[in-house]
Amino acid sequence: MQTVTSKIDFITRHFGEGSISRDGTNFAVQCPECGKSNEKRKFSICLETWRCHCWVCGVKGKNLFKLIKKHRGTDYAREYIAKFKIKSNDALNEDSEIKRVKLPHNFMLIAANIECNDPDFKAVLRYLKKRGMTLEKLWYHKIGTSISGGFWNRRIIFPSFDKDQELNYYVSRSIDDDILPKYLNSKADKKEIIFDEIRIDWNQEVTLVEGVFDLIKCNNNATCLLGSYMSKDHKIFHKIIENKTPVLLALDEDVKHKTNKIAALLFAYNIDVRIMNTAGYDDVGEMSHNEFIKRASEAYNYSGDSKLNFLIESIASGSVF
């Protein structure tokens, strides 16, 4: 039911506390666009029409869809249009775009076809075994390939599913180093993707690694950043903050500075963070599962002193400019 209370509850959940006008028609919150530099509640939302406008920076809209999508993520934008029956071209186009994600041509589950005699399939399987892949992990991650003889041939394909079990992304990697591009992924804004969110329990510590091959070596409550950095603009950041989820950072040794930036960002929002030592390996994907579990148990808790210690060590090594 679209009551004023339900609208205010939704706005507050995504934009923070606000104040209602004397006539009860408008609700003012801190502007999601310029609020960082102006703490005043100058972003006004009409509770009847959803029209919104900031009296400081001038951002405005017929509804909140674009701002929710930009600052809170696509899933919340979809929740908004469904909950309040919002109709707009932007919302309709976005919804259609999300549903267009499809797996590559002739995708086949490797675990379900383990006895396949195709030479390219066997080559893919040998590659995966060399990287420590087990039959259990093949099933768990729904890893596939294609033996169409075409563009996707001899590629390993990792699909990703959102919390509603919908395909939202995939990563593919050629087993042949002379084939470029080595990685070929679905077209999407990585900031909007929580890779394989379907498997994440936000009430338990979640492990963050860089890539899909790192995932096969770590514990089950994990996801990859599809890179080595996370900011406030990432959907996963908002999920962690919303659920107060503890985090284990297991990024590559050569991106220590990024690891510490992520840790500092989360720590500033009162999130418990642990950092795992990955020295001696190019990435987590090179470790054995047992080595990962051992190092995860030894991970240290990030604290207010951790940033200072890291800076001191960086200066001593000459890596800070």
Q: What is the pLDDT of residues 300-321, one digit of tens each?
A: 999 977 666 655 565 545 554 4
Domain end position, chosen among 77, 98, 119:
98
Are 174 and 122 members of one domain? yes
Domain end position, chosen among 145, 170, 188:
188
Are 91 and 114 members of one domain? no
> Residue 161 has which token pair?
């599913």
Q: What pLDDT sits at residue 144?
A: 96
Domain end position, chosen among 80, 98, 116:
98
Record the pTM.
Answer: 0.70
Are 153 and 210 members of one domain? no
Total tally of structural domains belonging to the chain: 3
Are 122 and 174 members of one domain? yes
Are 198 and 310 members of one domain? yes
Cross-strand partners of 109: 144
Give the CATH number for residue 237: 3.40.1360.10
Q: Give residue 197's domain range.
A: 191-317
Are 91 and 124 members of one domain? no
Give the CATH number for residue 171: 3.90.980.10
Cα atoms in the 13 Å half-sphere on the side-chain side of 33: 17
Give the CATH number for residue 19: 3.90.580.10
In tens, the pLDDT along 51-105 reads 999 988 888 889 999 899 888 887 788 889 888 988 766 555 554 444 567 898 8
- Per DSSP, the three-state class of 304 is helix
Are 77 and 111 members of one domain? no
Neighbours of 278 (CB within 10 A): 25
CB 139 within 8 A of CB 111: yes
Q: What pLDDT sits at residue 320?
A: 47
Tens digit of pLDDT per residue, the chain (321 long)? 578 999 999 999 899 899 999 888 999 999 988 875 556 788 999 999 999 999 888 888 899 998 998 888 877 888 898 889 887 665 555 544 445 678 988 899 999 999 999 999 999 999 999 999 999 999 999 999 998 768 889 999 999 999 888 899 999 999 998 888 899 899 888 888 999 999 999 999 999 999 999 999 999 999 999 999 999 889 999 999 999 999 999 999 989 999 999 999 999 999 999 999 999 999 999 999 999 999 999 999 999 776 666 555 655 455 544
